[in-house]
Amino acid sequence: MMALGSGIYVAHSVAFRSELQRMAPDHIGSSTSSRQRDIVFIVNPLGANGRTGKEWRKLVPYLRSRLGKDCNICESITSGPCHAIDITREAIREGADAVIAVGGDGTLHEVVNGFFWAGKPVVSQVKDSTRSRSTALGLIPLGTGSDFARTFEWKNDPHEAIERVARGLRSSIDVGVITGEDCDHHYFINVADVHLSAKAGFYASRYKRFGNLCYIIGALQAFIGHQNQDLRIRFNDGPWETCSEVTALCIGNAKYFGGGMKITPNADPFSRNLEVVILQNFKWYDFVLKLHRLYSGTHLSVKNVSDRSVLSIEVEDISGKGGIYIQSDGEHLGFLPKKISVLPAAIEMIL
């Protein structure tokens, strides 16, 4: 268990092990309340081929200087399969002011899922008359992709991110939720996608050691044996329609995926809608010729590309053969059928 007091906590999230450090400063930097803030930093030290852990250790002195002085650090090790999702839920239940994901889109994705349990938001179980706000989400981008940060035009500068945390300014943002035949709920904050791009993401995850080059390798591998597919789609619980020769279908709460590709350029995590972009009947050479437009976000006027704003979308495989990939925030979620919906203003985020 993680006992929260007044201070800052750092949870190192690794497979089958999490390390918890408590920093108990005399005071925390600027806040809207005289009450000290409890802040949990979730770090994957193995992220970006170990670079995240190395960069984090360099950041700790600066973090202390901005968020508190005279920090007393003690470390405890929790055994068992404790991951970022579990640590986030525990922190929220114990009244943390904020949970900060330190890393890339994968770490952020896990932390976002920790804000929910059994289809509902996790809430604090602490009775505190001075506490009037819910736990906020924060991000210090240190990962391979950090695509979500691009929507806000944040630089990949952890010192700048720490300044955001120190200021503590919040705004409510939307979150996407994905449900399937198993009735499980899976949440995403950036982009969910179906078919070729999701398959490419599945393969790219095997090559993270190559940095952003992993996305190119994944795409090349996904093209081998790829066939466009007819899909059944329903928007906003309306009538079903057939969408022919689908190459990729992307649902954006934010704008970027795949290492900087502006795939859903009109997506806005404050809009209370999701943007759906559908690529149909694309061949391998279409990607070669139009790749620059996909990265710049100018592809919506290209032939066989369509987009629309939705509250929800359901997608099924007409062939019934299965094997149509779906992923969200770069994490493989299995296969169709799935329903993707927006949860308006679901999380407060430090911006």
* Sign of the torsion angle spanned by Cα atoms 27, 33, 38, 42: negative
User: 230: which strand partners?
Assistant: none
CA–CA distances in Å: residue 170 to residues 117, 153, 187, 226? 23, 17, 20, 43
Token pair belonging to 75 = 């470390």
Residue 337: asked if its preceding bond is cis (omega within 30°), the reply is: yes
State the number of CA atoms in the 13 A half-sphere of 304 facing the CB. Answer: 14
Cα dihedral 284, 261, 142, 27, rounded to 10, equals -160
Annotated catalytic residues are: 105
Give dist(CA 215, CA 202) in Å, integer: 10
CA 251 from chain centre, in angstroms, equals: 13
Q: Is 102 exposed, middle or buried (0-12, 13-18, 19+ CB in 10 A)?
A: buried
Q: Residue 171: what are its φ and ψ, rounded to 5°?
A: -150, 145
Helix extents (H) in 232-342 = 284-296
What does the angle CA 192 – CA 145 – CA 38 come to, to the nearest 5 degrees?
A: 90
